[in-house]
Amino acid sequence: MQEDLDHETYMARAFQWAAKGYSDGGCPIGGILVKNDTGRVLGQGHNGLVQEGNPIVHGEMAAMRDAGRMPNRHDTTMYTTLQPCFMCAGTIVQFGIPRVVIGDVVNASSDETIRFMRGKGLEVVVMDPRTSEAAHACVELVAKFRSEKPEQWMEDWGGGPNPALTPG
Amino acid sequence: MQEDLDHETYMARAFQWAAKGYSDGGCPIGGILVKNDTGRVLGQGHNGLVQEGNPIVHGEMAAMRDAGRMPNRHDTTMYTTLQPCFMCAGTIVQFGIPRVVIGDVVNASSDETIRFMRGKGLEVVVMDPRTSEAAHACVELVAKFRSEKPEQWMEDWGGGPNPALTPG
């Protein structure tokens, strides 16, 4: 069904967005939406929590916004430097994006969103930081950021679990 | 745990946002984020697909953006004129919003996102259009919009199910 995209190349590009976000004082997470059959980049960007004061602009969301309007995204791949949160996983599911490629799952607290996306029939590719230079860079940068700005990291994830909620 | 907010009042206000979106030629869906203990409106807005050319600005997302940065949203309620899609349901879950109040479930294709949110421990209140004037207005306006602009409606939902995906 899908042409083979070179994950390493696109992840390296997504990492460049993450690195730009970091150098601006923001959260270092980038996303790129790519057309499968041509390899064309439809949209790209980085987390904008700090730069825009906007909590909904995660890396994947920035890529979605940049790509803009289209009838559907049924033949695309979302590259993201960090495992999607539920906002971004829900977006990928809702917009029928059939594949997501993730650079860093090491800094995620669980694999819940991956299981959610797979449960909806999506292909989820997790790159291995031991063999991918780009994925390794993604993991290292977020680890550095987390240790430098733990409160900003927590805010970006929505402030942590709500103690009033007891998932069934 | 939560103060009682007057759902009818807030839903009527959310509907005003939906109506504004409609009169601009956009998708008629509004959202409002409210602080539970004070009843203060933290953020509000309407779908911006057409007005901003931005597919991620659903009503709930507009309210999130308008509310801006905060440590958490653990004591808030999201009012939305239309049942959340997976992007918005994922956002509500990710940001730990403990309650969502919905004006219109009639125009939703399934109750999947409601089950998803309830499964995460959220309280989901569905208003009844037979007894709530505001909810009735929400249902009527979206039904009208769908019949007038079926393609815009479909685009806003992400273009419909992806035939390549077979949810497990």
One digit per residue, the tens of pLDDT, for chain B of length 168 reads: 445 899 999 999 999 999 999 999 999 999 999 999 999 999 999 999 999 999 999 999 999 999 999 999 999 999 999 999 999 999 999 999 999 999 999 999 999 999 999 999 999 999 999 999 999 999 999 999 999 999 999 999 999 889 888 765
- pLDDT tens sequence across A88-122: 999 999 999 999 999 999 999 999 999 999 999 99
CB contact under 8 A, A55 and B72: no
- pLDDT tens sequence across A132-167: 999 999 999 999 999 999 999 999 999 988 988 876
96-115 in chain B: CB under 8 A from chain A: 96-98
- CB of A161 within 8 Å of a chain B CB? The answer is yes
Rounded Cα distance, B162 and A131, in Å: 32
- CB of A89 within 8 Å of a chain B CB? The answer is yes
Does the CA dihedral A92-A97-A102-A105 come out positive or negative?
Answer: positive
Average pLDDT over residues A19-34: 98
Q: Which residue has the tokens 């971004």?
A: A88
* Average model confidence (pLDDT) across chain A: 96
Q: Give every CB contact of residue B123 below 8 A, 6+ residues apart in sequence.
A: B98, B99, B100
Rounded Cα distance, A104 and A136, in Å: 8
Phi, psi of A32 (to 5 degrees): -140, 130
What ipTM was reported for this prediction? 0.96
Residue of A91, A97, A156 to mutate, interface with B, max B Cβ within 10 Å: A91
Phi-psi domain of A99 (left: phi exceeds 0; alpha: psi -120 through 50; beta: other): beta
Q: What is the pLDDT of residue A168?
A: 57
Rounded Cα distance, A159 and B135, in Å: 31
Task: Give the Cβ contact number of residue A20 at 10 Å.
Answer: 15
User: What radius of gyration, in Å, describes the C-alpha atoms of chain B?
Assistant: 15
Q: What is the pLDDT of residue B168?
A: 57
Alpha carbon distances (Å) from B123 to A30, A164, B26, B105, B166: 32, 10, 29, 15, 29
Rounded Cα distance, B168 and B152, in Å: 29
Rounded Cα distance, B27 and B35, in Å: 26
CB contact under 8 A, A91 and B96: no
- CB of B53 within 8 Å of a chain A CB? The answer is yes
